[in-house]
Chain A
Amino acid sequence: MTKPIALAIKWVLIIATLAGILWIAAKLAAAGNVTAVVIAGLVGMGILAVYATRRAVPLKYLVPGLIFMALFQLFPVLYTANLSLTNYGDGHLNTKEQSISDIIAQSVREVPNTPRYKMSVATKEGDSVTTGDLVLLLTKPDGSTFVGDKTGLKPLDAAGVEKTPVGKITKAPGYSILNARQVNARKDLQSLAVPTSDGGGVKPVGLSEAFEGKSSVSYDAKADRLTDTSTQPPTVYEPRDARWVNTADASQSFPQGWKEGIGLSNYTRILTDDTIRSGFIKIFIWNVVFAVVSVLSTFLLGMLIALLFNDPRLRGKAIYRSLLILPYALPGFVTALVWKGMFNQDYGIINQTLGLSIDWLGTDFGAKAAILITNLWLGFPYMFIVCTGALQSIPQDVREAATIDGANAFRTLRSIIMPLLLVAVGPLLLASFAFNFNNFGLIYLLTKGGPFSGVDTSIGSSDLLITYAYRLAFSGTAPNYGFAAAVSVVIFLLVALMSIPGFRRTKALEEVN
């Protein structure tokens, strides 16, 4: 029977969880994300249904993991597939409506003799001062305060707001105000424009003032055209390929486009764009070579060392083992970064000790060799340990039988030990291949995928598919999330194709009891 105290603990936990979900839902609702609120509600009801009743006992144990898995593993995978069908990326981050209001706000010109706002630059409290969305805290000459961001201008509650004598806001609840040095570091300030309700906008002037002006661009919703009256004759822009393009001169367009579905264009681009396709094939070949050579080299070295120590007369095996495991015990980032230092062409100890002057990280061949050497060092202890275990599990009488049949040492190794060893460590070799196929950390920390010397400078000599996708999305000035997502999906498919044989052969399939 359930004791009252256990029952009490159970209900306290249920109520605390539900209260937490309610709080999250309230925050999501405040941010206007309807879908997320619905999901939070469903999760809450699911938790109540599973834990408040006596039914569904297995689910009580599976729900915590399933929730995290659904939210942060399965959903991101589906979302990646969805993203790969869009043009989401630099210049295509917002909706079409936002691009219109942004273009209109950007085209604001100051009307002479209008009063200026006093301006403080801030971010929302909790956001990073270096990367969070910028917010302008504005004071009109009459003393009224406003808060503006790229979505619009709103009055700012005067409670808790502190100002300097000239009216510049120095403190406002809910916002962290940037100091002059931080403001200076924000290159995106000059491109910030706050749209106002009458079709104009507020733009910063310098670091502490802003003006409100009239826009020279207007939007005609019926014709779906933007007209810029600042030129003579007025320039007309029409929507084309998710951008506003000048109808008279197609090479001219506004930088602000919008996000839209583009079907399979990202995939056809991989297949049909010559530089991308040849680069992609080059990356794929190196990716497979890297994974295969890494697995084979670490396995061979590990196996040889395991055979070396597979002698019952040898003393001090425990000490050898503890010391040989150290490369594997170092955190991966330390290994990669230290080897990067050792491979330095001018100062690195490898060139100095061996009297070489190889440009390890700056040439195609050198970078690949450096990566394989580092991965050999990093991975052989694991194979050594695995092979030691497997060798010990090979029955002694099998070897004896071979000896009696007249096999010499090499023949025993080749015909008896190796096949038994491979059966035992085969699944681990496959797992090691799968891991190395996407070994982002090693490549990125050692070479960043470089050197970049080919025809297409966006593709490095030592790039893996995963580092290539990462660079498309997160490095450089023009991230292309949609295309990066398409590359990720291709990696998914390749991994799936390559793992089918291993998956079908895995013993685990028959062993679930």
Chain B
Amino acid sequence: MSTVNAPVPTDPRLDSRVGSETGSSTPASPKRSGLGGRVWWRHALGLVALAWALFPILFIWSAATNPSGTLNTASLWPSGFSTANFNTLFSDTSRPFWTWYKNSMIISFVGAIGAVFIGACAAFAFSRLRFKGRRGGMMFLLLTTFFPALLAIVAMYIIFAGISDALPSFGLNTLTGLILAYLGGALGANVWLLKGYFDTVPRELDEAAIVDGASHVRIFFTMTLRLVMPILVTVFMLVFVGLYGEFMLASVFLTDVDTQTLGVGLYGMTLGNNANELFGPFAAGALLGSIPVMLLYLAFQKQLVGGLTTGSVK
């Protein structure tokens, strides 16, 4: 993981290499040529790539601030600025946008905290303790990641319908039920990521603590967890972002409008005959709903990207 973001070692001979690659025959210049010179075409193509990457986002902004608020009047370039769509969205009592927002936040936050705790405990056992079936256990966890829980969604639905009968507060149509269902997949891929980082913490520290008389609980909670904080943050972000965007289980579990998540709620706005009129408010909701995840990505780019690509680049 560390090498993913490592700076490129600059070699003076590199410039001539790049120069010949770009078809230049001029001798290598010792100083970088910056914006001008031979890289202008890279900037030109880069701008094309940016246009491709950003035009749908520009469209969301235009549609959200479009004064008339329908799909047929939405254009790529903003046609004026209006908060009418936001007002429509917030005042629609049959579509409680802020409740959806709150539900999404609760589910993602609690689910991510739970997943980090479960994963960190398991990673500690796999990294620090020696027991029979350790290797087999890691293999088994890797195997389970090939089979996403959503394949068993029919059974999940029927199981939680049964739980609804006995324990309505943990069943369908509750946030707790959905969080429990998500926690079923909390082991698995995360443990590999976590264990890899746990392994980098020197075992000598543990041994010193044991000599000092610390129990395994004390080592785990007061020492190891602090030393591995960066990976805990990374896993928290990854799980948070994943749960925030999850749609399938949420759409099956949450049928009451007051328990729905942003994804399920906004999806409902694009259905039916008035989808055209609702497009402006929908875009406003989509814009607001994207903000938490976008901010997380921009603020924790390195961790998130590092976490996503771990294992590939050594």
A and B associate in one complex: yes
| A312/B18 contact (C-beta < 8 A), A130-B255, A474-B157 known | yes
Set B155, B256, B301, B309: member contacting A83, Cβ < 8 A: B155
Judge if B252 is at the interface, Cβ distance under 8 Å.
yes
Set B117, B119, B156, B218: member contacting A72, Cβ < 8 A: B156
Judge if A455 is at the interface, Cβ distance under 8 Å.
no
Contact flags A321-363 to B (C-beta < 8 A → 1, else 0): 1111111111111110111111010111100110000000000
Set A321, A327, A334, A390: member contacting B312, Cβ < 8 A: A390
Q: Which of B273-296 contact A (CB under 8 A)?
A: 276, 279, 282-283, 286, 289-290, 293-294, 296
Q: Please state if B21 and A440 are interface contacts (CB–CB under 8 Å).
A: no
Set A127, A381, A491: member contacting B151, Cβ < 8 A: A491
Q: Please state if A341 and B53 are interface contacts (CB–CB under 8 Å).
A: no
Of the listed stretches B3-11, B82-90, B91-99, B226-234, chain A binds B3-11
Q: Please state if A337 and B184 are interface contacts (CB–CB under 8 Å).
A: no
| A57/B129 contact (C-beta < 8 A), A27-B166, A348-B71, A508-B192 known | yes
CB neighbours of A484 from chain B (8 A): 154
Give Cα A24 to B4, complex, Å.
47
Give Cα A61 to B169, complex, Å.
27
Give Cα A256 to B288, complex, Å.
47
Q: Please state if B270 and A313 are interface contacts (CB–CB under 8 Å).
A: no
Set A64, A324, A474, A512: member contacting B53, Cβ < 8 A: A324
Most B CB within 10 A of own CB, among A348, A424, A440: A440
Contact flags B123-147 to A (C-beta < 8 A → 1, else 0): 0110001010011011100111011
CB neighbours of B155 from chain A (8 A): 75-77, 79-80, 83, 485
| A327/B125 contact (C-beta < 8 A), A83-B158, A332-B247, A499-B146 known | no
Give Cα A412 to B293, complex, Å.
39
Q: Please state if A64 and B75 are interface contacts (CB–CB under 8 Å).
A: no
Q: Please state if B293 and A381 are interface contacts (CB–CB under 8 Å).
A: no
Q: Please state if B33 and A64 are interface contacts (CB–CB under 8 Å).
A: no
Set B184, B217, B244, B294: member contacting A68, Cβ < 8 A: B184
Please, which residue of chain A has its CB at the minimum distance from the CB of B308?
Answer: A382
Set A28, A65, A330, A488: member contacting B118, Cβ < 8 A: A65
- B275 CB to closest chain A CB, in angstroms? 8
Most B CB within 10 A of own CB, among A73, A334, A488, A512: A334
| A27/B142 contact (C-beta < 8 A), A330-B294, A349-B74 known | no
CB neighbours of B5 from chain A (8 A): 389
Q: Please state if B42 and A308 are interface contacts (CB–CB under 8 Å).
A: yes
Q: Please state if A444 and B129 are interface contacts (CB–CB under 8 Å).
A: no
Contact flags A396-428 to B (C-beta < 8 A → 1, else 0): 100110010000010010000000000011111
| A68/B183 contact (C-beta < 8 A), A58-B129, A320-B46, A488-B151 known | yes
Q: Please state if B42 and A329 are interface contacts (CB–CB under 8 Å).
A: no
Give Cα A124 to B168, complex, Å.
9
| A495/B255 contact (C-beta < 8 A), A324-B50, A382-B308 known | no
Q: Please state if A73 and B3 are interface contacts (CB–CB under 8 Å).
A: no
Give Cα A427 to B189, complex, Å.
14
| A334/B286 contact (C-beta < 8 A), A64-B121, A65-B186 known | yes
Q: Please state if A337 and B270 are interface contacts (CB–CB under 8 Å).
A: yes
Interchain Cβ contacts within 8 Å, total number = 344
- A279 CB to closest chain B CB, in angstroms? 19
Q: Please state if B263 and A333 are interface contacts (CB–CB under 8 Å).
A: yes
Q: Please state if B266 and A68 are interface contacts (CB–CB under 8 Å).
A: no
Please, which residue of chain A has its CB at the minimum distance from the CB of B138?
Answer: A512
Q: Please state if A79 and B245 are interface contacts (CB–CB under 8 Å).
A: no
Give Cα A380 to B313, complex, Å.
18
CB neighbours of B289 from chain A (8 A): 331, 334
CB neighbours of A88 from chain B (8 A): 158
Q: Please state if B184 and A331 are interface contacts (CB–CB under 8 Å).
A: no
Set B17, B173, B180, B215: member contacting A400, Cβ < 8 A: B17
Please, which residue of chain B has its CB at the minimum distance from the CB of A321?
Answer: B301
Judge if B199 is at the interface, Cβ distance under 8 Å.
yes
- A4 CB to closest chain B CB, in angstroms? 13
Contact flags A131-166 to B (C-beta < 8 A → 1, else 0): 100000000000000000000000000000000000
CB neighbours of A445 from chain B (8 A): 247, 267
Give Cα A499 to B74, complex, Å.
44
Judge if A30 is at the interface, Cβ distance under 8 Å.
yes
Judge if A264 is at the interface, Cβ distance under 8 Å.
no
| A127/B247 contact (C-beta < 8 A), A61-B121, A68-B184, A503-B143 known | no
Q: Please state if A323 and B301 are interface contacts (CB–CB under 8 Å).
A: no
Set B20, B34, B267: member contacting A315, Cβ < 8 A: B34
Q: Please state if A485 and B154 are interface contacts (CB–CB under 8 Å).
A: yes
CB neighbours of A309 from chain B (8 A): 42, 46
Contact flags B27-57 to A (C-beta < 8 A → 1, else 0): 0000011110111001101100110111011
Query: A residues bordering B, Cβ < 8 Å?
Result: 1-2, 6, 24, 27-28, 30-31, 33, 36, 57-58, 61-62, 64-66, 68-69, 71-73, 75-77, 79-80, 83, 88, 124-128, 130-131, 305, 308-309, 311-316, 320-335, 337-342, 344, 346-349, 352-353, 377, 380-382, 385-386, 389-390, 392-393, 396, 399-400, 403, 409, 412, 424-428, 434, 438, 440-441, 444-445, 466, 469-470, 473-474, 481, 484-485, 488, 491-492, 495-496, 499, 503, 506-509, 512-513
25 sampled A-B residue pairs with Cβ under 8 A: A6-B217, A27-B167, A62-B122, A66-B187, A69-B185, A72-B156, A83-B154, A130-B255, A131-B256, A305-B46, A308-B45, A311-B39, A312-B8, A312-B14, A323-B54, A329-B298, A332-B247, A333-B262, A333-B267, A337-B266, A337-B267, A338-B286, A347-B70, A349-B74, A393-B3
* In the A-B complex, the 5 residue pairs with the closest CB atoms: A72-B184, A126-B168, A329-B297, A31-B166, A389-B4
Excluding A329-B296, A340-B270, 9 further A-B contacts by CB distance (< 8 Å) are: A73-B144, A308-B49, A320-B50, A326-B54, A326-B57, A337-B266, A425-B313, A440-B150, A440-B248
